[in-house]
């Protein structure tokens, strides 16, 4: 029996089926490859998201740290400003206290200067009264210009010690008997030239002459007191009074030199304090000072 030739339509259908089957197989393979690639991409995307989230977390932590650092810096700046303000306030208060004390000290020195000026005037008035009271006695009319024989006769009076002779001179001085005080002190200076009280004796002789307004003799005795004890206890006062005597003699330049020495050698003494006040006061006479 002879086989019949296949129908052409069947062949076409069979060919199409083969093609479709091949396409399905290819599509299936491509789909699997795409799914695998998509899986890998999704895994990479997941890792990227995880990394981004970690970075975001780190960024939030950094922001917190930056904020804390800024707060610390701000607090430090505020504290520094407060400390600076406190230091400036303390410095201002200290300066005000120092200025107040300085003003009070200057006012006190001015008051001392005025009091000293008034004391000098009172002393001058008392000296004039003493001079008038002694005018009736030839022996007390004026102070001795040089060493004299003591009025107390050694033949009728027993010898006395240096201290007793000094006390006797001071007693005469305090009683206003300036002439007798000078005689007593001159006797001391003659008998005890090397005694520790010798500088003080010359000072008190100078005081007696100063109170009698014999400034030339006063300046000489003050200078001798300084020469005998350049660093003695009475030296600051002797320098102060020497300057005052020289100013009264219109020797202003020499007076300033003497006071400059007083301020240099005895800056913390009471005499130096009074000298600073006197130096700020103009001379009582407008006449120029004598040359040195």
- Write the CATH number for 160: 1.25.40.10
- Residue 121: the pLDDT is 45
Tell me, yes or no, whether 126 and 167 share the same domain. no
In a domain, 100, yes or no: yes
In a domain, 67, yes or no: yes
pLDDT tens by residue, 126-170: 544 444 444 333 333 445 554 443 444 444 556 789 999 999 999
Tell me, yes or no, whether 158 and 240 share the same domain. yes
In a domain, 114, yes or no: yes
- Residue 193: the pLDDT is 93
Distance of CA 55 to the CA centre of its chain: 61
Q: What is the mean pLDDT of residues 31-46?
A: 84
Nearest to 226 by CA among 253, 265, 179: 265
Tell me, yes or no, whether 152 and 117 share the same domain. no
Distance CA 116, CA 113 (A): 5
Q: 162, 191 in Cβ contact below 8 A?
A: yes
Candidate from 62-71, 104-113, 215-224, 263-272 with smallest mean pLDDT: 104-113
Q: What is the mean pLDDT of residues 72-96?
A: 80
- In the chain, the number of structural domains is 2
Q: What is the mean pLDDT of residues 1-12?
A: 66
- Residue 132: the pLDDT is 44
Nearest to 215 by CA among 255, 258, 249: 249
Tell me, yes or no, whether 81 and 120 share the same domain. yes
Of residues 275 and 72, more confidently modeled: 275
Tell me, yes or no, whether 195 and 259 share the same domain. yes
Tell me, yes or no, whether 182 and 269 share the same domain. yes
Tokens read off for 194: 């090397």
Distance CA 236, CA 270 (A): 8
Torsion angles phi and psi, residue 193, rounded to 5: -65, -25
Of residues 18 and 197, more confidently modeled: 197
In a domain, 1, yes or no: no
In a domain, 259, yes or no: yes
Q: DSSP letters along the chain, please?
A: -PPPPPPHHHHHHHHHHHHHHHHHHHHHHHHHHHHHHHHHHHHHHHHHHHHHHHHHHHHHHHHHHHHHHHHHHHHHHHHHHHHHHHHHHHHHHHHHHHHHHHHHHHHHHHHHHHHHHHHHHHHHHHHHHHHHHTTT-GGGSS--SS----SS-TTTS----HHHHHHHHHHHHHTT-HHHHHHHHHHHHHH-TTSTTHHHHHHHHHHHHHHTT-HHHHHHHHHHHHHH-TTSTTHHHHHHHHHHHHHHTT-HHHHHHHHHHHHHH-TTSHHHHHHHHHHHSPPSS-SPPPP-
- Residue 119: the pLDDT is 54
Tell me, yes or no, whether 113 and 224 share the same domain. no
Tell me, yes or no, whether 150 and 111 share the same domain. no
In a domain, 15, yes or no: no
Tell me, yes or no, whether 265 and 247 share the same domain. yes
CB atoms within 10 A of CB 236: 24
Tell me, yes or no, whether 159 and 120 share the same domain. no
pLDDT tens by residue, 176-235: 999 999 999 999 999 999 999 999 999 999 999 999 999 999 999 999 999 999 999 999
**What domain range includes position 125?**
55-133
pLDDT above 90 for 242:
yes
- Residue 241: the pLDDT is 97
Tell me, yes or no, whether 107 and 201 share the same domain. no
In a domain, 113, yes or no: yes
Domain termination site, one of 133, 163, 197:
133
Candidate from 78-87, 90-99, 259-268 with smallest mean pLDDT: 90-99
Domain termination site, one of 133, 150, 183:
133
In a domain, 98, yes or no: yes
Q: What is the mean pLDDT of residues 85-105?
A: 73
pLDDT above 80 for 291:
no
pLDDT band for position 5 (cuts 50, 70, 90): low
Domain termination site, one of 133, 161, 179:
133
- The pTM for the full model equals 0.48
Tell me, yes or no, whether 264 and 198 share the same domain. yes
Of residues 75 and 239, more confidently modeled: 239
């Amino acid at each position: 029996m002879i086989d019949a030739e296949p129908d052409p339509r069947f062949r076409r259908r069979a060919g199409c089926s083969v093609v479709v089957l091949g396409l399905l197989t290819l599509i299936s393979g491509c789909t699997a490859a795409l799914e695998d690639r998509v899986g890998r991409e999704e895994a990479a995307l997941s890792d990227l998201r995880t990394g981004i989230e970690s970075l975001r977390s780190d960024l939030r932590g950094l922001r917190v740290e930056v904020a804390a650092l800024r707060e610390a810096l701000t607090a430090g700046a505020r504290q520094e400003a407060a400390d600076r303000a406190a230091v400036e306030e303390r410095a201002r208060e200290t300066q005000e206290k120092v200025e107040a004390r300085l003003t009070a000290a200057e006012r006190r020195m001015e008051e001392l200067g005025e009091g000293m000026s008034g004391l000098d005037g009172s002393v001058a008035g008392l000296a004039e009264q003493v001079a008038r009271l002694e005018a009736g006695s030839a022996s007390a009319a004026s102070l001795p210009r040089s060493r004299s024989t003591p009025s107390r006769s050694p033949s009728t009076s027993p010898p006395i010690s240096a201290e007793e002779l000094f006390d006797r001179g001071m007693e005469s001085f305090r009683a206003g008997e300036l002439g007798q005080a000078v005689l007593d002190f001159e006797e001391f200076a003659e008998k005890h030239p090397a005694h520790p009280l010798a500088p003080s004796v010359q000072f008190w002789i100078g005081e007696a002459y100063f109170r009698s307004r014999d400034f030339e003799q006063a300046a000489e005795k003050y200078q001798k007191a300084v020469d005998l004890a350049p660093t003695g206890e009475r030296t600051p006062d002797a320098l102060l009074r020497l300057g005052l005597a020289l100013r009264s003699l219109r020797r202003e330049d020499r007076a300033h030199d003497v006071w400059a020495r007083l301020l240099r050698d005895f800056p913390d003494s009471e005499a130096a304090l009074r000298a600073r006040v006197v130096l700020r006061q103009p001379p009582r006479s407008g006449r120029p000072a004598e040359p040195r």
